[in-house]
Amino acid sequence: MTGIAILLVYVLAFVLAAAAAGLLRRGRARRADFSSLKTVTFGDESAIRPDRLASIASVVVIFLLWGAFTGSKLVPLHVSGPFAGETSFTYQSEGTGGQLSDGRVRITVGPDGTLPAGAETSDDVAVAVQSGRNKLIQLPGDARVVSVNGTEIAPGGAVPVEDGTVSMTSKGTLSFAAERGLQMEPIWLPSPEAVVGRFIEIMANGYQNYSLWEHIGASLLRVLAGFTLGALVGIPLGYAMGLSGWFRGWFDPIVEFMRPVPPLALIPLVIIWFGIWETGKVVLLFLAALWVMAIAARAGVSGVRISKIHAAYSLGASKWQILRHVIVPNSLPEIFTGARVAMGVCWGTVVAAELVAAQMGAGMMIIAAAKFQLTDIVMMGIILIGLIGFGIDLLMRQAETRLVPWKGRS
Amino acid sequence: MSGLTLNNISMRFDLPNGSHVQALQDVSLHLAKGELLSVLGPSGCGKTTLLNIVAGFLAPTAGEITLNGHAVRGPDAERGMVFQEGALFEWMNVRDNVSFGPRMAGRRKADYLPEVDRLLEIVGLKDFRDKAIYELSGGMQQRVALARCLANDPDVILMDEPLGALDALTREKMQALVLKLWKETGKTVMLITHSVEEALLLGERLIVMAPRPGRIHKEYRLPFAELGAGMDLREVKKHPDFGTTREDILSMIWNMEEEIMGHMEPAS
Ligand SMILES: Nc1ncnc2c1ncn2[C@@H]1O[C@H](COP(=O)(O)OP(=O)(O)OP(=O)(O)O)[C@@H](O)[C@H]1O
Ligand SMILES: [Mg+2]
């Protein structure tokens, strides 16, 4: 139910933000660049530019929702939180002789579950309940409760009362549970500021014997080592497969077989063969990058227009010169695409491998935190992993536009 | 013997389904040094195949090609090629494209750069020499391709519809340029085209090929290229012989195409 409500709120936010952006922009002059002057945009993918306002709104909405459901102080609106404060209910009980008597239970719900001073002065039963917990209520004498707030109750039954629920155990004892509200407890979902706080704390003090930068640096180094080795072997292999029938025939079965095997499936075998420490991880990442790069290089070779090769031969180039001056530069766009994919795969794989076993690393950090239910560290780790993966891709894209400016323009 | 000689060239493609295509049958031809031959013919008559054989990209199933007395066995810098499009190297700028041949031959910069710049000036791209290929228009790209071929100083220039992808006006200008370059450099040229007019304007000699099997159907010797070197190409087209020869060849090719279509009818 809550899930559907959240989804509806999210859709509503999407629609409202779109409407607001539309209003905001009305009357403002449109930019006169080439693609905004196009009248046909539906179906012309190249005319679709991401609306940056939408991107900002999207991130803001996620933070608002996150804050609203975790009671964040950074967010003005919250969903209902767990009840805290004083409440009470009345009951009627039947004595051993069948005579009915009324009573009242006063309940204090708070984070520590202790009674405020002077609460026990009146005749009422006073009970303290820790937020989010149940509490059995000891009634005076051997009274057998028959109704709560005027509603009949039997063992196993429950009666909703103000700010909570009163239920009766099978033995006839009453128990009170305060309303939990829609907010998440920090153990399920910590608030944004808790995550940021953790980030600052771990940045200063480190976690599990290593500083944050050592954890992240360890993961990055593994990726870099595995990817570099994979590219160093995979690219020449791909070229060889694109240039020689024997190579193609020899490695085709291997590459085609290894390509669909997810690197994660290799973790057990790699652990058996190379152990759980650095060698094993680098070998795993090497394998993850190898096939992607080999296939990219092979595609790069087969993507060369034959007239370019013919032209180079007619201009007197040797085979080696054609490889160096025609095939390699012509395959660079494919290689870059492959490298981006390989980097993504490596980054995902290294985190997974660190989840299995590691002394340091981004993945190790979150799995260690998860064992102690430190959800804020887990969240922080996931966000960092995502940001770094995004950053890597951004860097690769930038290198691509700088090094392969002719991509897609021939 | 100097010049380009084709001796009974035949080419048969075996298809995977067991049948075969006789793309060329006993094509013989001699081109003296400095001659410009244009090749016309209906689609599929083997023009590209013939040119690829001369360039050395394909080995004929029968026959032999010699250039200046030695047999042609594969591609070589002595036979330059200008393609219809897409044969320039996008990762190099204009000047590096044009100097590709000399650079691959290991010549020194000081040796080839003046010649490269002179060629760029001739084709009118002096100011574009540092531009990237994808920044040029189609016509400019073909001029780069021409200059690149010439910079390598080949004995024979082979062109497969070099102007086919250009618009009519650019095409006319390029025709004049080709003619001028041919006159200036005295290269032997073999030019494939789909345009009868172009073949007439540029070809000192012209062969019309016939399909199934591909062979030389008729050969002409033409005065127009000689005329065109000295006057406006539009004037050349007004020459009385120009019109009649054009009609002649057009109807010849038209009839061949008809025949092919007729061929196809019973099959469908
Ligand atoms: N690699 C090949 N395999 C099989 N058949 C081929 C091959 N190349 C060409 N052919 C066939 O040889 C014949 C001649 O082809 P070619 O490309 O030389 O014709 P063309 O005269 O250049 O045609 P167009 O004017 O359309 O360019 C065609 O029938 C074609 O189907
Ligand atoms: Mg052709």
Statement: residue B180 has pLDDT above 90: no
Statement: residue B266 has pLDDT above 60: no
Confidence class for position A336, pLDDT limits 50, 70, 90: very high
Which of A24-28, A324-328, B37-41, B129-133 has the least mean pLDDT?
A: A24-28
Which of A20-34, A51-65, A299-313, A327-341 has the least mean pLDDT?
A: A20-34
> What's the gap between Cα A38 and its chain centre?
38
Contact A307 B104 (CB under 8 A): no
What is the mean predicted confidence (pLDDT) over A304-329? 92
pLDDT of res. B72 = 87
Statement: residue A34 has pLDDT above 70: no
What is the mean predicted confidence (pLDDT) over A242-259? 92
- The tens digit of pLDDT for each residue in B8-30 reads 889 988 888 888 888 888 889 99
Domains of chain A: 2-68 (no CATH), 85-178 (no CATH), 192-403 (1.10.3720.10)
Statement: residue A35 has pLDDT above 50: yes
- The tens digit of pLDDT for each residue in A125-161 reads 788 888 777 888 887 776 778 888 888 888 888 888 8
Phi, psi of A183 (to 5 degrees): -70, 150
pLDDT of res. A32 = 61
What is the mean predicted confidence (pLDDT) over B177-184? 85
- Give the residue whose CA is nearest to atom 22 of ligand 1: B48
pLDDT of res. A122 = 65
Fold type of domain B4-78+154-267: Rossmann fold (3.40.50)
Chain B residue closest in CA terms to A321: B104
Statement: residue A120 has pLDDT above 70: no
Q: How far is B75 from chain A (nearest CA, A)?
A: 5
Statement: residue B1 has pLDDT above 70: no
- The tens digit of pLDDT for each residue in B118-165 reads 989 888 888 998 988 988 888 889 889 989 998 988 999 999 988 887
Nearest to A122 by CA among A86, A167, A170: A86
Statement: residue B227 has pLDDT above 70: yes
pTM score, two decimals? 0.80
Between the CA of A307 and the centroid of ligand 2 the distance, in Å, is: 13
A73-77, A238-242, B84-88, B250-254: range with highest mean pLDDT: A238-242
Mean pLDDT estimate for chain B? 86
pLDDT of res. A244 = 92
pLDDT of res. A223 = 93
Phi, psi of B39 (to 5 degrees): -120, 125
In whole angstroms, give the CA distance from residue B135 to residue B94.
Answer: 10
Domain segments of chain B: what residues?
A: 4-78+154-267
Statement: residue B267 has pLDDT above 50: no
- Give the residue whose CA is nearest to atom 25 of ligand 1: B43
- Give the residue whose CA is nearest to atom 20 of ligand 1: B44
Which of A231-240, B62-71, B163-172 has the least mean pLDDT?
A: B163-172
Mean pLDDT estimate for chain A? 86
- Give the residue whose CA is nearest to atom 17 of ligand 1: B48
Between the CA of A160 and the centroid of ligand 2 the distance, in Å, is: 86
Q: Is the CB of residue B23 below 6 angstroms from any atom belonging to ligand 1?
A: yes
- The tens digit of pLDDT for each residue in A202-234 reads 888 888 888 888 889 999 999 999 999 999 999
Q: Are strands B205-210 and B36-40 parallel, antiparallel or unpaired?
A: parallel
- The tens digit of pLDDT for each residue in B192-204 reads 998 888 888 888 8
Between the CA of B45 and the centroid of ligand 1 the distance, in Å, is: 7
In whole angstroms, give the CA distance from residue B200 to residue B249.
Answer: 10
Question: Which residues of A make CB contacts under 8 Å with B?
Answer: 305, 307-308, 310-318, 321, 325-326, 329-330, 332, 404-406, 409-410
Which of B89, B92, B116, B158 would you mutate first to test chain A, the one with the most A CBs within 10 A?
B89
For chain A, give the number of residues: 410
ipTM score assigned to the predicted complex:
0.89
Contact A316 B148 (CB under 8 A): no
Nearest to A147 by CA among A197, A190, A104: A104
What is the mean predicted confidence (pLDDT) over B249-256? 82
**B11-37 b/e with 16+ CB inside 10 Å = b?**
beeeeeeeeebbbbbebebebeeebbb
Confidence class for position A247, pLDDT limits 50, 70, 90: very high
Q: How far is A228 from chain B (nearest CA, A)?
A: 24
- The tens digit of pLDDT for each residue in B30-54 reads 998 888 999 988 888 888 999 999 9
pLDDT of res. A248 = 94
**Residue B203, amino acid:** G
Percent residues over pLDDT 90 in chain B: 19
Between the CA of A318 and the centroid of ligand 2 the distance, in Å, is: 26
Q: How far is A248 from chain B (nearest CA, A)?
A: 21
**Residue A274, amino acid:** F
